[in-house]
């Protein structure tokens, strides 16, 4: 094994790991402030998964009718099934309009109204006047909002001269004896060279890990690298039991069909041609929150009312919108439906099923994007030098269930907020801290083990086992016996992942090595998810347990007395700690938990 001292070191004021929406937004803040910043990304920035977001970014601009951030805040809290922290939610909803307008100033090609303002469409769970009726809050660029946003943010970073390290994969977090974060080790994919990126501040913007499931809307690169690195470095992961299953993934293919289809007037039909959402959500119907719609769809299928020869999917009908609306507002959807479902939505409905989409949990942070962990009796003690934003972070804005459009709002607001916090931190801590003597050693050991493993496990086979286990044991509906068995099974898979073997030994762009390293991150996410899900004995938001459904005193199976709290999972021991939900907003009155109906 190489001497750790031989790993080259580069020093930056700040490094950002990940170049999706939140990473680019944070980087922009840092570059503009004149800091020396490096952005590390596994892919060219515009290939990050933000590019696949479709329907819009939520902000109460009020361009289509009356709206305000307080209503947006209420909707987000209700959507979160009251697990979201109300200070963070207030912060995001209040900052959202400014974040969207800034993006417009950067050049984002939003759709427009006749009066020239940004067009906004209705979206699930977003309402006027605290749940009264749907509101048009989703600012969009046709059904390519994420693409338009990511390219705009990248372009603005080109303008700001941000330094990118493209096709560099971060391997491990570097912490010193005090637990302070001093940077990461990373590998250049083209050459296989490793390097230490030392920094006064490290921002994780590594996105989600939806690839732990077999059926997922997520890109191949969404492998939870930030979560894996944090967990290995002793940082707990928060609320990992909460995964969003998006109601409309193309059946069989998993590719996302935006909720914006229903926002524009599309409806869901079961095999009998019935608009079943009227039964489940009389007010919001097809625009109820995603967990509610996904559960309704899964129930229809389970009870034999699915569509198709095997009655195993639901139909998303939008032909009644007419070719003009479809071609103008949903052109990308039409393209996807024709390519991946062989149907032209102008004429026929699209077969869809609930599909893993988004992780509500992640690395615990506050609304400033600072990573916080329990220490000396303080559940939210700041880890100096460490920040997280976007899907990898858990502020917690989304609680037990995220509203559509709020992922893009989150990454803009939290990316910028993390950037601002870093600027402030560096002002007060201008010196580099000393790297520990063993910095980088863990990464080198991991690489060496992978390099030398013989008679080991095939990366694809172990990955498949993980994805099948998660899909079967920890999906839309969760059952106590399946979860218990799931914990045993996923730990068996994790043990196999300790012995991954790759045949490719080349130094040059070794994608087999990268996939193995990614799987090592994914498996941490999978274990944390299964253990946290087995542990939480209630139904809340996206976490639906068959043994905790409607009981007297527990609306929808939610148990506020015992479970209105965040889970914190620790790698290794699988210990779970808890911390209270922050029910105190920054300036307005608290929204007390109540029954959640749409």
Partner 1 sequence: MKFNILRYDPDQDQKPYFKEYDIALEPSDRMLLDALIRIKSVDDTLALRRSCREGVCGSDAMNINGKNGLACVTKISDLKEPVVLKPLPGLPIIRDLIVDMTQFFKQYHSIKPFVINHDTPPETERLQSPTDRLELDGLYECILCACCSTACPSFWWNPDKFVGPAGLLAAYRFIADTRDQATNERLDNLEDPYRLFRCHTIMNCVDVCPKGLNPSLAIGKIKEMMVKRGV
Give the span between the Cα atoms of 507 and 133, in whole angstroms.
Answer: 58
Query: Is residue 29 a contact partner of residue 205, using CB atoms and an 8 Å limit?
Result: no
Rounded (to 5) percent helix, strand, coil in the chain: 40, 25, 40
Query: Is residue 194 a contact partner of residue 332, using CB atoms and an 8 Å limit?
Result: no
Residue 113 or residue 584: which is nearer to partner 1 going by CB? 113
Residue 47 or residue 311: which is nearer to partner 1 going by CB? 47
Least CB distance to partner 1 at residue 503 (A) = 5
Least CB distance to partner 1 at residue 479 (A) = 26
**Directed axis angle between helix 69-79 and helix 86-106, to 10°?**
120
| SS3 labels along 469-493 | HHHHHCCCCECHHHHHHHHHHHHHH
Query: Is residue 22 a contact partner of residue 16, using CB atoms and an 8 Å limit?
Result: no
Least CB distance to partner 1 at residue 512 (A) = 4
For 29, list phi and psi in degrees, rounded to 5. Answer: -60, -45
Residue 61 or residue 350: which is nearer to partner 1 going by CB? 61
Least CB distance to partner 1 at residue 316 (A) = 17
Least CB distance to partner 1 at residue 358 (A) = 15
Which position has the token pair 């997520």? Answer: 218
Does the annotation mark 156 as catalytic?
Answer: no
Q: What is the token pair recorded at 262?
A: 């229903």
Give the span between the Cα atoms of 128 and 442, in whole angstroms.
Answer: 52
For 5, list phi and psi in degrees, rounded to 5. Answer: -65, -20
Give the span between the Cα atoms of 490 and 483, in whole angstroms.
Answer: 10
Least CB distance to partner 1 at residue 117 (A) = 6
Q: What is the token pair recorded at 194?
A: 């490793």
Give the span between the Cα atoms of 215 and 230, in whole angstroms.
Answer: 25
Say if strands 565-569 and 576-580 run parallel, antiparallel, or are unpaired.
antiparallel
Least CB distance to partner 1 at residue 211 (A) = 11
Residue 507 or residue 594: which is nearer to partner 1 going by CB? 507
H-helix or E-strand spanning residue 345: none
Report the length, in residues, of the chain. Answer: 598
Residue 272 or residue 452: which is nearer to partner 1 going by CB? 452
First to last CA, the chain: 59
Backbone dihedral region for residue 337 (phi beyond 0: left; psi -120 to 50: alpha; all else: beta): alpha
Q: Which of the following is catalytic: 290, 334, 540, 558?
A: 290
Least CB distance to partner 1 at residue 553 (A) = 45
Which position has the token pair 């000393």? Answer: 434
For 488, list phi and psi in degrees, rounded to 5. Answer: -60, -45
- Name the site residues for partner 1 (rule: CB under 8 A): 43-44, 46-49, 51-52, 61, 100-102, 104-107, 109-118, 141, 144, 147-148, 151, 155-156, 158-159, 190, 219-221, 252-253, 255-256, 332, 335-336, 339-340, 458-460, 502-504, 506-512, 515
Q: How many other CB atoms are found less than 10 A from the CB of residue 590?
A: 11
Residue 326 or residue 394: which is nearer to partner 1 going by CB? 326
Residue 231 or residue 516: which is nearer to partner 1 going by CB? 516
Active site residues: 290
């Amino acid at each position: 094994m190489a001497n750790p001292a031989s790993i080259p070191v580069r020093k930056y004021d700040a490094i950002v790991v990940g170049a999706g929406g939140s990473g680019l937004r944070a980087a922009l803040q840092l570059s503009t402030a004149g800091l020396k910043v490096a952005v590390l990304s596994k892919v060219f920035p515009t290939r990050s998964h933000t590019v696949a977001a479709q329907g819009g970014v939520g902000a109460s601009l009020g361009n289509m009718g009356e709206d305000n951030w307080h209503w947006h805040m209420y909707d987000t809290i209700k959507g979160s099934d009251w697990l979201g922290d109300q200070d963070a939610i207030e912060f995001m909803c209040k900052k959202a309009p400014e974040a969207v307008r800034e993006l417009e100033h950067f050049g984002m090609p939003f759709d427009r109204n006749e009066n020239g303002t940004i067009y906004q469409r209705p979206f699930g769970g977003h309402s006027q006047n605290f749940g009264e009726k749907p509101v048009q809050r989703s600012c969009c660029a046709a059904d390519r909002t994420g693409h338009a946003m990511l390219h705009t943010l990248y372009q603005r970073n080109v303008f700001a001269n941000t330094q990118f390290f493209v096709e560099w994969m971060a391997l491990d977090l570097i912490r010193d004896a005090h637990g302070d974060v001093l940077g990461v080790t990373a590998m250049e994919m083209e050459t296989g060279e490793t390097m230490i990126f030392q920094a006064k501040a490290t921002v994780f913007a590594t996105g989600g890990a939806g690839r732990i499931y077999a059926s997922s809307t997520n890109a191949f690169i969404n492998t939870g690298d930030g979560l894996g690195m944090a967990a290995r470095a002793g940082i707990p992961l928060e609320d990992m039991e909460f995964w969003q299953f998006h109601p409309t993934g193309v059946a069989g293919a998993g590719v996302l069909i935006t909720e914006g289809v229903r926002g524009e007037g599309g409806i869901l039909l079961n095999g009998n041609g019935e608009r079943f959402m009227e039964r489940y959500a009389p007010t919001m119907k097809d625009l109820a929150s995603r967990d509610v719609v996904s559960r309704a769809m899964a129930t229809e299928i389970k009870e034999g009312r699915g569509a198709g020869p095997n009655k195993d999917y639901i139909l998303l009908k939008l032909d009644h919108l007419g070719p003009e609306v479809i071609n103008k507002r949903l052109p990308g959807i039409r393209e996807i439906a024709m390519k991946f479902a062989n149907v032209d939505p102008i004429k026929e409905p699209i077969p869809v099923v609930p599909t893993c989409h988004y992780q509500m949990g992640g690395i615990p942070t506050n609304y400033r994007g600072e990573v916080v962990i329990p220490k000396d009796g303080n559940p939210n003690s700041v880890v100096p030098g460490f920040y997280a934003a976007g899907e990898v972070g858990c502020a917690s804005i989304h609680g037990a269930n995220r509203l559509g459009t709020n992922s893009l709002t989150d990454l803009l607001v939290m990316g910028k907020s993390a950037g601002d916090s870093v600027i402030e931190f560096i002002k007060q801590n201008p010196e580099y801290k000393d790297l520990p003597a063993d910095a980088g050693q863990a990464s080198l050991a991991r690489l060496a083990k992978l390099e030398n493993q013989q008679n080991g496990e095939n990366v694809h086979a172990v990955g498949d086992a993980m994805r099948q286990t998660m899909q079967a044991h920890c999906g839309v509906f969760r059952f106590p016996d399946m979860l218990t068995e799931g914990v045993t099974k996923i730990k068996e898979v994790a043990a196999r992942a300790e012995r991954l073997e790759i045949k490719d030994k080349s130094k040059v762009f070794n994608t087999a090595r990268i996939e193995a390293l990614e799987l090592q991150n994914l498996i941490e996410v999978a274990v944390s998810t299964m253990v946290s899900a087995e542990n939480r004995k209630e139904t809340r938001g996206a976490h639906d347990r068959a043994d905790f459904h409607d009981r007297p005193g527990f609306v929808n199976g939610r148990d506020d007395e015992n479970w209105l709290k965040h889970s914190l999972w620790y790698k290794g021991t699988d210990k779970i700690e808890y911390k209270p939900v922050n029910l105190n907003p920054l300036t307005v009155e608290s929204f007390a938990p109540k029954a959640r109906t749409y």
